[in-house]
Amino acid sequence: MENQLLNKLNKEQKKAVEIVEGPVMAVAGAGSGKTSVLTNRIAYLIQEAGVSPYNILAITFTNKAANEMKERVQKLIDLPMDNIWISTFHSMGAHFLRREIDSLDYDKNFQIVDDQDTLNIIKNLMKKHNYDLNTYSPTIISKLVGNLKAKLVSINHIDQPIRSMIEQLYPLYNAYLKDNNLVDFEDLLVLTLKILQDFSGILKRYQEKFQYILVDEFQDTNNLQYNIIYQLAKEHRNIFIVGDEDQSIYAFRGSNVGNIKKFAKDFPEHKKIILNQNYRSKDTILKAANSVIKNNKDRIPKDLFSNLGSGDKIIHYKANTDEEEAYYVYEQIRKLRRENTPLSEIVVLYRNNAMSRRFEDIFLKYNLPHKVVGNLSFYKRKEIKDIIAYLHLLINSGDDYSFSRVYNTPKRGVGNVSFANLVEYAEENHLKLFDCIGVNHSPLSGKAALEMTKFRDLITELKQGLETRTLLDTYDLLLDKSGYKEMLEKDDSTKDKTFQSERKLDNLEEFKTIILEKVSDYERDISNYDKLATLLNDLVLHVEAEDNEEHEAVSLMTFHSAKGLEFDIVFMTCLEQSLFPAIRNGFDAANNIDEERRLFYVGLTRARHQVYLTNCKTRFMYGRYMDNLDSQFIDEIDEDYLDKRGSNHVRKSSFERVHSSKNRPTVKYASYDTEEKQIKVSDKVNHKVFGRGMVVEVKGDLVKIAFSVPHGVKTLMKDHPSFKVED
């Protein structure tokens, strides 16, 4: 049996599998084969130790991981998995409650409501108790109710007047669920723990059933999950946890990295095993990761190592601007592609989703296949599509599609019936929707008529003022006077923030950058109306290009989304102080930096072969220039493992690009580490924009190329990817 289960495991992995009795803490570093340890341990308990499958409980965090664990265990022991509880926490809770919820005076045939059901219940309660749904967001109230139930937030941390509303609605919501035999997702754990704590007979029965408990990703457990596991394990104490403090990155979701230390206190007789042999990455990557994460205090020390070879140094490229940074990433990917690295094995990571936009633009410009993972691409996000619809109305108030998208966003009290009346009136009278507002015999009345008149006046006023103010000023006025910005600020105003990687407000700020950059490329003597119309047309073409996504593509994602994944090549971008580490309200500085450092560590350890770190001196983001210091995490990497390039060292050459807008300074771009084109006078070339031409002069890094009318002679960088030399 040992040949089948243990011969592929290293010494520490075998130890983790073979200790049958008592609590065990396996500290499993990134890429250390923890899934193999878990599955082999389950098989070992059954085959070698004679433990009944009925007495085993294995918990992980995703259905995908649970299914994978079942499949791998079944392959090892060739037994049906029906008697082993291998599931997520919530699935375990649902299974438990189907058997035991009647002890709380529920019927066992309860129905589980999802987030949308919860939102609808909250909305109805708010209406019943005369709360204005335009003033108070039902989505935020629903989220607060859930977090309060799961004890992820305290009622004392919610500001007034929201607190008073929650104090009234929270018990009403729970009573509604109970009266209708409903449970929500939080109840699956909350009610499970309540039964285990309040009914000793039931607790004893399940302690006897689950004599051997295994928990994956223990660093991601919250307090509620920990308490459930503790109740079940405290009698027989045969609990095996796998976790890594250094990969705890979900504090904003309620996970408590301190649960590992709590486990050590509650089970002081535990045996600790360090799994630090990595089977994913080259050793240089691991040494760099070790040199960073050691700066976190109060952690279980471990140094990852690998037998896969040392590998190349980590490349740190510092650009002058964010545009140069994105272009450098593109150039390196182009080079890797020529060297036969599959695009699917390359990932570009950033701290929050608003940072994806620059890379998306460059990749689209040069037709590099890519996909945004874990989120919509920048131009497909709801808030961006909404604000583009508003801008379309400034160009053409007769755009019924754009009107239909934003007439009631934010909420203006124009319900479905009122809008249907407006549409019917427009069709009968062959009018545009916008032109039906305020007419004689209007199809609207009351508040709907008043609010639509305000909406019409807003669009009209902004359109009439287009030429008297800058487009950026028009944009800011639109955000303010439409109420869109206020709507998002209300959604973001409670202390119960989820600390998501991107906020919609960030994306709307980043749209200012697009306005400034695009408009700076247009002719100065055209009207603001024409500039805005051209900008919107450009964005339509941009989205159309995105829709032609290829399967073989570079992945773009946040560091959080990359957890659990691995790639041959990892680009870690936008590594500047205040961007990464990001400072989050509600966290003390020390805990915040430790969490951010763990996130950086996770990014490093996603890579098998090569890591690129990139940042820039001057970043044009959120419509303004930012001069940030390098991320402190770069400085924490031992210099022996870094290859510094770009403005980190003296460059061989540079070129200047002067933007037409007086708001943008001359920007200097460093030369890139690309394959140099062999170009000589009289060579024929093909340019993506200017078409075919002939080289008439070569001077250093610059070439002059004669194109046909109307383009004429152009001076270009010799290594620029926009043209190719014809054979």
- pLDDT score of 4: 63
Of residues 35, 409, 453, 460, which has the active-site annotation?
A: 35
Asked if residues 5 and 40 have their Cβ atoms less than 8 Å apart, the reply is yes
**What's the pLDDT band for 558 if we cut at 50, 70, 90?**
very high
Q: Which candidate in 186, 187, 217, 502 is catalytic?
A: 217
User: To which H or E segment does residue 97 belong?
Assistant: helix 89-100
Residue range 614-641: mean pLDDT, rounded: 89
Q: What local confidence, expressed as pLDDT, does residue 279 receive?
A: 93
Query: What would the CATH number be for the domain defined by 111-180?
Result: 1.10.10
pLDDT digit string, tens, across residues 114-163: 888 888 899 999 998 998 887 788 888 998 899 899 888 888 888 888 88
| Res 195: pLDDT | 96
pLDDT at 191: 96
- Burial-class residue 204 by CB neighbours within 10 Å (0-12, 13-18, 19+): exposed
Render pLDDT for 347-358 as a digit per residue (tens, 0 to 9): 999 998 888 889
Name beta bridge partners: 239: 213
Q: Is residue 31 annotated as involved in ligand binding?
A: yes
Least confident among 203-217, 293-307, 327-341, 613-627: 613-627
Choose between 240 and 2: higher pLDDT.
240
Indicate if the pLDDT at residue 492 is higher than 80. no
CB 394 within 8 A of CB 373: no
> How would residue 567 be classed by pLDDT, with cut points 50, 70 and 90?
very high
Average pLDDT, the chain: 85
- Known catalytic residue at 469: no
**Is there a binding annotation on residue 33?**
yes
**Structure confidence at residue 521 (pLDDT):** 65
Q: Is 50 left (phi over 0), alpha (psi -120 to 50) or beta?
A: left
pLDDT of residue 541: 58
| Residues 680-702 pLDDT 10s | 887 888 887 678 888 888 876 67
pLDDT average, residue stretch 50-61:
91
Q: To which H or E segment does residue 697 belong?
A: strand 691-699
Q: Determine the pLDDT at residue 540.
A: 67
Does 34 show up as a binding residue in the annotation?
A: yes
Q: What is the mean pLDDT of residues 205-215?
A: 95
Per DSSP, the residues of 123-142 read HHHHHHTT--TTTS-HHHHH
Q: Does residue 547 register a pLDDT over 80? A: no
**What is the SS3 string spanning 411-423?**
CCCCCHHHHHHHH
* pLDDT on residue 546: 52
Q: Between 3.50.50.60, 3.40.50.10800, 3.20.20.70, 1.10.486.10, what CATH number should domain 378-542 receive? A: 1.10.486.10
% pLDDT > 70, the chain: 87
Q: Which of 198-207, 374-383, 420-429, 507-516 bottoms out in mean pLDDT, i.e. has the lowest? A: 374-383
| CA 471 – CA 622 distance, rounded (Å) | 15
Residue 309 is labelled as binding a ligand:
no
Is residue 672 scored above 70 in pLDDT? no
User: Residue 28, annotated ligand binder?
Assistant: yes
Q: 494: pLDDT confidence band, cut at 50, 70 and 90?
A: very low
Q: Which of 47, 450, 682 minimizes the C-alpha distance to 20?
A: 47
Per DSSP, helices labelled H in 396-470 are 400-406, 416-428, 446-464
According to DSSP, residue 576 is labeled B
The pairing of beta strand 346-350 with beta strand 567-572: parallel
217 is an active site residue: yes
The amino acid sitting at 469 is R
Burial class (CB in 10 A: 0-12, 13-18, 19+), 509: middle
Spot the catalytic one: 216, 517, 576, 595.
216
Contact 165, 193 (CB under 8 A): no
For residue 499, is it left (φ>0), alpha (ψ between -120 and 50) or beta? left
pLDDT in the model for residue 542? 58
272 is annotated as an active-site residue: no
| Fold of the 305-375+549-646 domain | Rossmann fold (3.40.50)
Mean pLDDT over residues 109-118, rounded? 84
Which residue of the set 34, 282, 563, 619 is catalytic? 34
- Write down the catalytic residue from 39, 221, 247, 573: 247
| pLDDT higher at 380 or 662 | 380
Residue 667 and residue 678 in contact, taking contact as beta carbons nearer than 8 Å: no
Q: Which range scores top for mean pLDDT: 205-219, 394-408, 529-543, 582-596?
A: 205-219
Measured distance CA(696)–CA(705) in Å, rounded:
6
35 is catalytic: yes
Position 284 pLDDT exceeds 60: yes
pLDDT value for 588: 52
Quick one: three-class SS letters along 37-67?
Answer: HHHHHHHHHHHCCCCCHHHEEEEECCHHHHH
Per the annotation, does 192 bind a ligand?
no
Q: Is the separation of the CB atoms in 559 and 247 below 8 Å?
A: no
231 belongs to the catalytic site: no
Confidence of residue 674 (pLDDT cuts 50, 70, 90): very low
Q: At residue 725, does pLDDT exceed 70? A: yes
Choices 1.10.260.40, 3.20.20.70, 1.10.510.10, 3.40.50.300: CATH for 4-102+188-275? 3.40.50.300
| Cis, peptide link before residue 710, omega less than 30° from 0 | yes
- Check whether 74 has a pLDDT greater than 50: yes
What pLDDT is stored for residue 587 in this prediction? 47
